[in-house]
Chains A and B, each alone.
Chain A
Amino acid sequence: MTVTAGWYLALAAVLFVVGASGLLLRRNALVMFMSVELMLNAANLSFVAAGRQLGVLDGQAAVFFVMVVAAAEVVVGLAIIVTVFRRRATASVDDLAGLKG
């Protein structure tokens, strides 16, 4: 059997769900962040697979941009985590419940 794009998409879906569960179920800010990266990569994978399926380079261009944005996001996010850690000496997001209404 040949590996079709659908296989990659399925794999990407699973990776996405795993990443999402890490986001929802872990308290450590860094691990949550890494889960987000995982989700982004899953999305990238599905982009490339779809681009191959359709025979265009749009998927790869999209992946390019996603990576750039992810890099920028990581930079800023980590800076925030570091700043918060300096103030509160905690890496658990549950302690950051100041927006409780």
Chain B
Amino acid sequence: MEAGEVMVSLLILLPLGGSVLLLALGRRLGEPGAGVLGTLTVSASFVLAAVAGGDFLAGGAHATQIPWFDWLSPLGVRAGLLWDPLSALMALVVTGVGALIHLYSIGYMKGDPRVGRFFAYMNLFVASMLILVLADGFALLFVGWELVGLCSYLLISFWFEKPVAAAAGKKAFVVNRVGDAGFLVALMLVFAAFGSLDYGEVLGRAAGELSTGMATAITLLLLMGATGKSAQFPLYVWLPDAMEGPTPVSALIHAATMVTAGVFMVARTGALFDLAPASAAVVAAVGIGTALYAATIAVAQYDIKRVLAYSTISQLGYMFAGVGAGAYVAGMFHLTTHAFFKALLFLGAGAVIHALAGEQDLRRMGGLWRRLPVTTVTMVVAWLAISGIPPLAGFWSKDEILATLFARGGAWRAIWAIGLLTALLTAFYMSRLIFLAFFGEQRWAEGAHPHEAPKVMTVALGALAVLALAGGVVNTPWRPGLEHFLEPAFEGLDLAHLPSGATQWVLAALSVAAAAVGILLAAGAYLRARRPAEEGPAWELLRRGYGVDEAYARVFAAGGQAAARFTDQTVDQKGVDGLVNGLGVLVRTVGERLRPLQTGFVRQYGLGIVLGAVALLAWFLSRGGF
């Protein structure tokens, strides 16, 4: 293996090794040793990724495939890594944002008795996510897919002493499983069609060999998996509950990286979606539908983290709409900028929670800008970014998606319109959050002493704020740097294009206008002395997330419990136990019935012998010989 290959392999092995070390020695390392080790491994991976990915910047470097080992030899499945611009981008995002969040966690998790375990899980997560994005085939992708699900479970229920946290972890895992079932069937179909699970094989031969029907089936099933992992409708219900985990976990896994795995997967398998335009349309429809849906729910939430959770679901919807419309670059762009500002939002929320000693209810915050200046500034940056205000990062990426949708014409314009409405709502609920938390009058509890977060945390906030501010430059209409960067990865795919000339500016102006309207509406409502009551049936419905959770509980959970009860009482207790006990009863009964034969009288036993002798004799005679 040459140097480049070693570097890429190390990307995964460093955090993996860190995780093992932390699991073994975490308690011995203590604070801040454990946190430092965890941050170092991820930072080292970031540096390696930057170095190795630098080749692609110059253009002309080819994608490299790095074989690792033969995995399922009889099926010809091999494990290896694929280093191309797409995986490089993902690796950079994961390790970069991941390193910052690790740094922040050193401060946030201070004093927790299981700090070593925390950083071990976080490192394991980074390693798993890297396996997912660097895989060269569906097999290893699936391994990474499942591993990040495992890490998500471990980290959501990190404070497992709280029953809600344990339940949330379970819920996340189970709902993901539902999606993964579809994903697995898709893999089986892929293998059945191509006899291989390598990207090179499958994606290369797809155009020539795959029928539309088969492609549609495979892609729809892949979408099912993506829906679970990336929290789209109808498998999104786990994400709001996942906020029970520590805030850095929410930032890293449920904002920046793991939930984007679905988007990445669709982009990676773009060749398949190209062959199934129906599926692509479904992807976009599900995406934009979820975006609007989640945005409406976010408007009515009181828990600061839940607002951000629904916001994540909504923004993921945008990304799916993008890749579904064939705008792979736009989708990946929004993925990147979203990682910046959503992680920043979560970390900032974490700083607020930390400052108020665990308070998460927006109604008991307010006026924090005086006490937490740095946090406020960074949060304002993030707010403007997500609302799509130029020149911050979010504007460029969101606008690119919307513009591409419009440009495709026809029914796609409807999707564009929904996207525009969602942008308005996004601006509205984010402004609501910022106004309620940082401005207005102070509503926090007696005895709380809000104070700025320690340096460790604010440094991370600052770094992410810079990225959220300036990150948009990587792909502006004048210098589409990201597009050029990702070009080799999306070669041969049917890419959507931006509209030309004036249309583009009009569309941009429209999205900015929508954002401005949203902000002004929120300002008008929440910056006044008397806040709106937010009561009434409509608000209740939104707050409860349209009752979907309860519906699921009633249908699936209750159904599952009924099935379990049936299996226990009828099948197991009556059926199996009955059978086994029945055998015992049968044997005993037969024995009881046969008992009278043993009279104890020798002469009767002798009679039995003679009876047997007669029978034998008769049999021999009837056979006419021995």
Contacts and interface: CB of A to CB of B under 8 A. Distances in A.
Interface of A: 20, 23-25, 27, 93-94, 96-101
Contacts of B455: none
B602 interface: yes
B610 A100 contact: no
A98 B606 CA distance: 16
Given A20-B610, A24-B607, A24-B610, A96 B602 contact: yes
A99 B607 CA distance: 16
A72 to B, nearest CB: 21
Majority SS of interface residues in chain B?
Answer: helix
B600 A24 contact: no
A94 B601 CA distance: 6
A99 B595 CA distance: 12
Interface in B591-620: 595, 597-603, 606-607, 610
A23 B606 contact: yes
A20 B602 CA distance: 13
A101 B602 CA distance: 13
A93 B603 contact: yes
Pick the 7 closest A-B CB pairs, nearest first.
A100-B600, A101-B598, A97-B600, A99-B600, A93-B602, A24-B606, A101-B595
Given A96-B600, A97-B601, A99-B600, 6 more contacts: A24-B603, A24-B607, A96-B602, A97-B599, A97-B600, A100-B600
On chain B, which size bracket covers the interface?
A: 10 to 19
Interface of B: 595, 597-603, 606-607, 610
Contacts, number: 29
A27 B602 CA distance: 10
B241 to A, nearest CB: 67
A27 B598 CA distance: 18
A68 B599 CA distance: 33
29 contacts: A20-B610, A23-B603, A23-B606, A24-B603, A24-B606, A24-B607, A24-B610, A25-B603, A27-B603, A93-B601, A93-B602, A93-B603, A94-B601, A94-B603, A96-B600, A96-B602, A97-B599, A97-B600, A97-B601, A98-B600, A99-B598, A99-B600, A100-B598, A100-B599, A100-B600, A101-B595, A101-B597, A101-B598, A101-B600
Nearest to B591: A101
Contacts of A99: 598, 600
A28 to B, nearest CB: 11
Contacts of B599: 97, 100
Contacts of A101: 595, 597-598, 600
Contacts of A94: 601, 603
A93 B431 CA distance: 108
A100 B595 CA distance: 9
A1 to B, nearest CB: 26
A97 B598 CA distance: 10
Contacts of A98: 600
Contacts of A20: 610
Query: Which of B595, B597, B602, B607 has the most chain A CB within a 10 Å cutoff?
Result: B602
Contacts of B603: 23-25, 27, 93-94
Nearest to B604: A24
A92 B617 CA distance: 31
Contacts of A23: 603, 606
Nearest to A98: B600
A97 to B, nearest CB: 3
Nearest to A97: B600
A101 B597 CA distance: 8
A17 to B, nearest CB: 10
Contacts of B600: 96-101
